[in-house]
Amino acid sequence: MIRVSTSTNTPITDSAELRTQMGAIRLSVHWLGTSKALPASQQAEAAATFGANRDFFSARKKLIDTRHPAYRKVTSIRNRIVSLWKGMTVPYPDPGLRLIRRTQIELFETAFHQLQQELEEAVQQLEREFEELKGNARERLGELFNETDYPDSLDHLFGIDVEYPNVSPPNYLQQINPELYEEQCRRIEARFDEALELAEESFLQEFQQLIAHLSERLSGESDGRPKVFRDSALTNLTEFLQRFRQLNIRSNAQLDELVEEVHQLTRGVAPDRLRQDRAVRDTIREQLRHVGEVLEDQLELRPRRQINRSPVNREMMPNAT
């Protein structure tokens, strides 16, 4: 997780400040396809085995073992890059776009390029072991194995790109068609109004889920002992609190108060203390229960929205479908 001093971030309290302090960012993932639809003749043969109508049947084959350590290393780094992107941004209504503080772009770029370097090294290692992966696939796929399903090289088949698209109307439009320019300005303004609401809802949902999970782990007993909880039940919550304070979006006063309340409640509390000190555990559980009830009330009062949480993904592999 990237840690940034909140003192450098001017609070954002409305959509106008959101527009002036944040810019759009898109993450594009190019990835090796790991499965492929069977050719028509094999689809028909497989359908006949089950007495199925070919038009209502489809089958795919797995090209490589995605549990292989070299492949898992590559996907692990991809997940870290996506987590970095999500952790430093808030949702935007357009699919694949999120908003990042302009003051944080340099920090993001530094961390991103470090992870890109790790990704390149991991792909090189995967390249060295790719013949082994193909050999394993040849044994497991039998007659379904086809050499042409596999690329000669992994160059350019794994990659993650970052773009910073301009979401404001182009200035030349003001000269060409002032009315259209004003219309686009109103459209962008509405999009940022929606982005602010999406950010609030995203924070509320994540906060409520983390509170509910930790509260459940702190409540009751199992086999006469307090329920076991992993360190992540607490650390995920404290990391959320840190990220919320870093992004410094202050458009919901009640949410700000709840975040501060939980921050004070959990500050300096280690997971082991919650496991060993029942009085502390019960006190924190009761206060978290109250916070959770307030968050649930806030979520129930908001209209249901579909929050786009995923980056644009494009699988790239010759002949893969």
91 is written with which tokens?
A: 């949702």
Which pairs count as long-range contacts for 203-207, CB under 8 Å and 24+ apart, including other chains?
203/244, 203/249, 203/252, 203/255, 204/252, 204/255, 204/295, 204/298, 204/299, 204/302, 205/299, 205/307, 206/240, 207/240, 207/244, 207/255, 207/258, 207/259, 207/295
Domain locations in the chain as residue ranges = 172-301
| One-letter amino acid of 273 | R
Contacts of 179 (CB under 8 A, 6+ apart): none
Report whether 54 contacts 28 (CB < 8 A): no
Write down the pLDDT at residue 224. Answer: 61
Write down the pLDDT at residue 164. Answer: 97
Write down the pLDDT at residue 304. Answer: 61
Report which secondary-structure segment, H or E, holds 48: helix 40-49
Report whether 127 contacts 99 (CB < 8 A): no
Contacts of 232 (CB under 8 A, 6+ apart): none
Name which of 34, 80, 86, 88 is nearest 60 in CA terms: 34
Write down the pLDDT at residue 10. Answer: 86
The C-alpha atoms of residue 48 and residue 56 are separated, in whole angstroms, by 12
pLDDT tens for the 321 residues of the chain, in order: 445 444 467 889 999 999 999 999 999 999 999 999 999 999 999 899 999 998 899 999 999 999 999 999 999 999 999 999 999 999 999 989 999 999 999 999 999 999 999 999 999 999 999 999 999 999 999 999 999 999 999 988 999 999 999 999 999 999 999 999 999 999 999 999 999 999 999 999 999 999 999 998 888 666 666 677 789 999 999 999 999 998 999 889 999 999 999 999 999 999 888 888 889 888 999 999 999 999 999 888 876 655 554 455 454 444 443
| First-residue to last-residue Cα distance in the chain | 35
The C-alpha atoms of residue 99 and residue 195 are separated, in whole angstroms, by 9
Q: Is the sign of the CA dihedral 207, 209, 213, 218 positive or negative?
A: positive
Residue located via tokens 């497989």: 46
Three-state DSSP at 28 gives strand
The C-alpha atoms of residue 283 and residue 235 are separated, in whole angstroms, by 18
Write down the pLDDT at residue 225. Answer: 67
Say what angle helices 69-87 and 105-141 make with each other, to 10 degrees: 150
The C-alpha atoms of residue 13 and residue 210 are separated, in whole angstroms, by 24
Angle at 314 between CA 309 and CA 317, to 5 degrees: 150
Contacts of 196 (CB under 8 A, 6+ apart): 14, 15, 18, 249, 251
Over the Cα atoms of the chain, what is R_g?
25
DSSP strand pairing (159-163 vs 22-31): antiparallel
* Other beta carbons within 10 Å of 3: 10
The C-alpha atoms of residue 163 and residue 190 are separated, in whole angstroms, by 22
DSSP strand pairing (22-31 vs 35-37): unpaired
| One-letter amino acid of 28 | S
Q: Is the sign of the CA dihedral 297, 303, 309, 315 positive or negative?
A: positive
Write down the pLDDT at residue 319. Answer: 46
54 is written with which tokens?
A: 């070919």
